[in-house]
Amino acid sequence: MINYIIRRTFLIIPTLLGIMILNFI
């Protein structure tokens, strides 16, 4: 269960950072 949450966060955080970077540019 914990590993599933960690994988989810590791998948979601880079996408959010990518969206922020694309919006910033």
**Model confidence over 1-25: pLDDT tens digits?**
789 999 999 999 999 999 999 998 7
pLDDT given at position 2? 84
φ/ψ of residue 17, rounded to 5: -65, -40
pLDDT given at position 24? 86
Going from N- to C-terminal start, the domains of the chain cover 1-25
pTM: 0.49
**At CA 19, angle to CA 7 and CA 11, rounded to 5?**
5
